[in-house]
A and B are shown apart, each in its own frame.
Chain A
Amino acid sequence: MTTWNKPLPTINGETKTFWDMARRGTLLIQKCDSCNEFQWYPRGICSNCWSSDIKWFPSTGRGTVWTYTVTNQNRTQGFDTGPYVLALVELEEGVRMFTNIVECDPKDVSIGMSVEVTFQQATPQISVPLFKPAS
């Protein structure tokens, strides 16, 4: 386990299941049982129809880079040591999430590139979903 010195998420009632499954290597998104819409980020209501009838849905964890930036300057601890790739990845289910693209040279990242989820353990409770080039 590499040392995680970046910000950590808060686990609360809305997100406990998400982080429990992330620890087991599954990326969950949400789907509404009333209107069948997917949504990202996880929350306590369906943001489309405002129903509470939302269910967790395992994403395939595959997607494409919708856009990205190689960031050279960020004073936040853990991000202040050099370039990293901040990206919006569009999952196969059609929702886009912020993430980092890892396990490749930042110069090789491009829009439309196929990526898949990988989890980095930050603490015994928290594994953070990141994306790497699809195998």
Chain B
Amino acid sequence: MVDLRRAAAIVGVHEHITRYAPDKSELQIQAESIQKALEDAGLEKKDVDGLFCASMSVRNSGLNLADYLNLYPKMVDNTTVGGGSFEFHLSHALNAIHAGRINCAVITYATQARSGGVSVGTGGISRQGHPRLDPSPDSFEELYGLTTVGLYAMIAQRHMHLYGTTSEQLAEVAVTMRRHASLNPEALFRDPITVEDVMRSPVVSTPLHRNDCCVITDGGGAVVVASPELARNCKQKPVWILGAGEAVAHQGAGKRDLMYIAAKQSHAPAFEMAGVTQKDIDMAMIYDSFTITVIETLEDLGFCEKGEGGQYVLNGRIGLGGDMPINTDGGGLSSNHPGMRGLFLLLEATRQLRGQFEGTERQVPDCKIALCHGTGGALGSRHSGGTVILAKD
């Protein structure tokens, strides 16, 4: 494979801090985020020649966004494979920049899932207003009352059955994310919680409690990705892309072992490309739609053996100050989850690698290499997994 290490860098980021924005359109939140991310990089509208986006509500989202922004990019990519779409975008932008087709890509996302009252996890899998997709999922799934949370819950149930994972272990993930959120002034929920609080929250779909499930917010953000030449002239020190891997996982005609998730396939090429191992990772941004997502992802990324994820997350290991701090912004479980969260993994990893929180408890000390893994779709049926490895300049 061509050596793509440091072939492109993240040079600008912006997180739209809103968690509730009924008066702004999705496109407006994206536009504001792109402006601020470009400002962060020291770049301008005229520099942008690649547009990467995904949407929960807009079909042909790249086309509509280019129209709104009055932009004529050389490359448009609205790959939409669920919440992890943005790790795919970064992977694609890396290729396109290395090939010399573009020099400066923006990756963006926004939604009004909260103000729009979208039942992301419990609305059933039927996509109201979307055309049917037969024979599956509509004819062989919808009629059984599948929900997003139900699909993850089934994986959690079997994980407990096979490996002895407990509700308390799942709760530990939620408790750690809340501790991190307490350090993030923008987080939706900041009051510390205990394992008992999680266990006492209502059961949405056994064995998952409400506090095992991510929050629903509005929000958005943008990432600016540049060629090495451009990156060296930006305001911020570049955060380099070292490696990327993409995968999908599905039912495999009813025979695939659903306990292994797409991270199992996507992490190997990312690590290989980056030339690093799990031991080199200083912090990780792990898509935390549900507590079980974190445990399964840590296992299948190779941070621990299959079945040991429940033990792995105990004793502060995944918290700030632990061996493998994850989701230092509070994650989807406590900070924000605007329908899709993959973009925010890139934002926080970049902030950490820049040392933006230096001198505060939120900073991972001496943070040189970070991993982001986005999961999109549902573990129990079909989902995507995008792994990217980033490095400090």
Query: Which A residues contact B (CB, under 8 angstroms)?
Result: 6-10, 12, 14-15, 37-43, 47-48, 66-76, 78-79, 84, 86-88, 94-100, 111, 128
Contact = CB atoms under 8 A, between A and B. Distances in A.
B145 A97 contact: no
B138 A67 contact: no
B149 A73 contact: yes
Contacts of B142: 7, 9, 76
Closest 4 pairs between A and B when the two form their complex, measured CB to CB? A76-B124, A95-B254, A40-B254, A9-B139
Interface of B: 119, 122-124, 126, 132, 134-136, 138-147, 149-150, 153-155, 157-158, 161, 202-208, 251, 253-255, 258, 380-381
B144 A73 contact: no
Chain A interface, DSSP helix/strand/loop, else mixed: loop
B255 A84 contact: no
A69 B205 CA distance: 6
A98 B122 contact: no
A74 B150 CA distance: 9
Contacts of B141: 98
| Interface core residue of A38, A73, A99, A100 (most chain B CB under 10 Å) | A73
A104 B254 CA distance: 25
Given A15-B134, A86-B146, A67 B154 contact: yes
Given A86-B150, A96-B255, A74 B122 contact: yes
Nearest to B124: A76
A79 to B, nearest CB: 4
A12 B134 contact: yes
Contact of B158 (A71, A74, A111): A111
B124 A75 contact: yes
Contacts of A98: 140-141, 144, 146, 381
B157 A10 contact: no
A43 B203 CA distance: 36
Contacts of A99: 144
Contacts of B207: 69
A92 to B, nearest CB: 13
Contacts of A47: 253
Contacts of B138: 7, 9-10
Nearest to B256: A96
Contact of A9 (B122, B140, B146, B255): B140
Given A40-B253, A70-B206, A128 B143 contact: yes
B255 A67 contact: no
B209 to A, nearest CB: 11
9 contacts: A10-B132, A39-B254, A40-B254, A70-B205, A72-B204, A79-B145, A86-B144, A86-B145, A86-B146
Contact of A41 (B124, B208, B254): B254
Given A72-B204, A74-B145, A48 B253 contact: yes
A42 B251 CA distance: 13
Given A66-B158, A67-B161, A75 B122 contact: yes
A40 B147 CA distance: 20
Given A69-B153, A71-B205, A97-B254, 17 more contacts: A7-B138, A9-B134, A9-B142, A10-B138, A12-B134, A14-B134, A15-B134, A40-B251, A43-B136, A69-B150, A72-B202, A72-B205, A86-B154, A95-B254, A96-B255, A99-B144, A111-B161
A87 B157 CA distance: 11
A19 to B, nearest CB: 9
